[in-house]
Chains A and B, each alone.
Chain A
Amino acid sequence: MADPLNISVSALLSYQRALSTASHNIANVNTAGYSRQRVDLGTQLPNYSGAGYLGNGVQVDGIRRVYNEFLSTQVRDLTATQREAEVLQQSASRIDNLLADPNAGLMPLAGQFFASLQDLANDPSSTAARQVVLDKSESLASRFRAFATYFDGLAAGVNSGLATAVEQVNALARQIGDLNQNIQTLSGAAGAPNDLLDQRDELIRQLSEYVAVSVVDQDNGDRNVFIGAGQPLVVGARVQQLTMLRDPYDPVRQRVGFVSGAVPVDITGQLTGGEIGGLLAFRDQVLDPAYNRLGQVAQGIAATMNAQHRLGMDLNGNIGGDLFTVAAPQALPRSSNTGDAVVGAAISDVSALTASDYRLDRRGTDYVLTRLSDGVAVDLDAAGFPGGAVTVDGLRISLASGSIDDGDSFLLQPTRGASASLRVAIADTNAIAAASPIRTSSAQANSGSGTISAGTVDGPPPVGPDLTATVTITFNDPPTSFNVAGAGTGDPANVPYVSGQTISYNGWTVQLSGRPGIGDTFAVGANIGGAGDNRNALALGALQTAGTLDRGQSTYADAYGNLVAAVAVRTERAQATSQAQGVLLNQATAARDNVSGVNLDEEAANLLRYQQAYQAAARVIEVANGLFDSILNAVRR
Chain B
Amino acid sequence: MRISTGQQQAQTVQAMLDQQSRLARTQQQIASGQRILVPSDDPTGAKQLLDLGAVVARVEQYQRNAGVAEARLGAEENALRSTTNLLQRVRELAVQANNDTLSGPDRKAIAIEVRERLTELLGVANSPDANGEYLFGGYRATTRPFSVAADGTVTYAGDQGQRQVQIGADRRIVTGDSGDAVFQAVRNGNGTFVVDQGANAGTAVADAGTVLDPSAWVPDQYSIEFVTNSAGALAYQIIGAAGGQVVPALPAVAPAAAPAYTSGAAINFQGVQLTITGTPAAGDTFSLGPSRNQDIFATLKAFATALETSATEPVARAVQHNSINRALVDLDQALQHITVVEAGIGGRLNAIDSQRNSNDDERLRTQALLSEVGDLDYAQAITQLNQQQVALSAAQQAYVRVQGLSLFDYLG
User: Residues of A at under 8 Å CB distance from B?
Assistant: 29-30, 36, 92-93, 96-97, 99-100, 107-108, 111, 114-115, 118-119, 121-126, 435, 439-442, 444-447, 454, 517, 527-535, 538, 541-542, 544-545, 557-558, 560-562, 564-565, 567-569, 571-572, 575, 586, 589-590, 593-594, 596-602, 604-605, 607-608
Contacts and interface: CB of A to CB of B under 8 A. Distances in A.
Given A447-B292, A529-B140, A568-B43, A600 B159 contact: no
Contacts of A121: 65, 165-166
B360 interface: no
A563 to B, nearest CB: 10
A92 B160 CA distance: 56
Contacts of A125: 131, 133, 141-142
A533 B164 contact: no
B199 interface: no
A607 B407 CA distance: 11
Contacts of B69: 122
A597 B47 contact: no
25 contacts: A36-B4, A111-B54, A111-B57, A115-B57, A118-B61, A123-B68, A445-B292, A445-B293, A531-B139, A531-B143, A532-B138, A532-B139, A542-B166, A557-B50, A564-B46, A569-B43, A571-B39, A571-B40, A575-B40, A586-B11, A586-B14, A590-B7, A590-B11, A594-B2, A598-B5
A125 B49 CA distance: 35
A572 B40 contact: yes
B53 interface: yes
Interface centre among B2, B7, B131, B164 (most CB of A within 10 A): B7
Contacts of A567: 39-40
Chain A, interface SS category:
helix
Contacts of A604: 406-408, 411
Contacts of A122: 64-65, 68-69, 165
Given A527-B139, A538-B166, 4 more contacts: A99-B39, A444-B185, A593-B7, A597-B7
Nearest to B157: A529
Given A30-B6, A447-B290, A538-B172, A533 B65 contact: no
Contact of A565 (B41, B44, B180): B44
Interface in B111-165: 131, 133-134, 137-143, 159-165
A442 to B, nearest CB: 7
B68 A111 contact: no
A597 B6 contact: yes
A13 B400 CA distance: 40
Nearest to A605: B407
A597 B8 CA distance: 10
Interface string B299-336: 00000000000000000000000000000000000000
B1 interface: yes
A532 B133 contact: yes
Interface centre among A125, A532, A569, A600 (most CB of B within 10 A): A532
A340 B119 CA distance: 78
A600 B140 contact: no
Nearest to B37: A97
B146 to A, nearest CB: 14
Contacts of B65: 118, 121-122
A185 to B, nearest CB: 30
A571 B55 CA distance: 26
Given A125-B133, A447-B290, A586-B14, A532 B50 contact: no
A516 to B, nearest CB: 13
B39 A564 contact: yes
B58 A597 contact: no
Please provide the 3 A-B residue pairs with the shortest distance between their CB atoms, ordered closest to farther.
Answer: A597-B4, A532-B141, A568-B39
Nearest to A26: B408
A555 to B, nearest CB: 9
Given A454-B161, A599-B2, A608-B411, A564 B50 contact: yes
Contact of A594 (B4, B142, B161, B166): B4
Contacts of A569: 40, 43
A96 B39 contact: yes
A534 B64 CA distance: 16
Given A435-B139, A531-B142, A605-B407, A447 B166 contact: no
A601 B406 contact: yes
A115 B65 CA distance: 10
Nearest to B184: A444
B219 interface: yes
Interface string B211-227: 00000000100000000
Contacts of A115: 57, 61
Contacts of A557: 50-51, 54
Contacts of A605: 407
Contacts of A442: 160
Contact of B163 (A533, A544, A602, A607): A533
B324 to A, nearest CB: 25
A180 B292 CA distance: 109
Contacts of A440: 160
Nearest to A315: B142
A100 B38 contact: yes
B102 interface: no
Nearest to A571: B40
Contact of A589 (B1, B7, B39): B7
Interface centre among B51, B61, B169 (most CB of A within 10 A): B61
Nearest to B160: A441
Nearest to A34: B6
Interface in B254-286: none
B3 interface: yes
Interface string B387-412: 00000000000000000001110010
Nearest to A101: B38
B39 A534 contact: no
Contact of B53 (A93, A107, A538): A107
Contact of B164 (A111, A538, A599): A538
Given A111-B57, A561-B47, A575-B40, A532 B6 contact: no
Contacts of B293: 444-446
B193 to A, nearest CB: 11
B140 A594 contact: no
Nearest to B72: A122
A593 B7 CA distance: 6
Nearest to A444: B293
A542 B139 CA distance: 20
Contacts of B5: 29, 597-601
A439 B161 contact: yes
A600 B406 contact: yes
A557 B56 CA distance: 13
Given A30-B6, A532-B139, A565 B46 contact: yes
A528 B137 CA distance: 12
Nearest to B62: A118
A562 B47 contact: yes
A446 B184 CA distance: 12
Given A439-B159, A569-B43, A532 B137 contact: yes
B38 A598 contact: no
A435 B50 CA distance: 31
A604 B405 CA distance: 12
Contacts of B41: 572
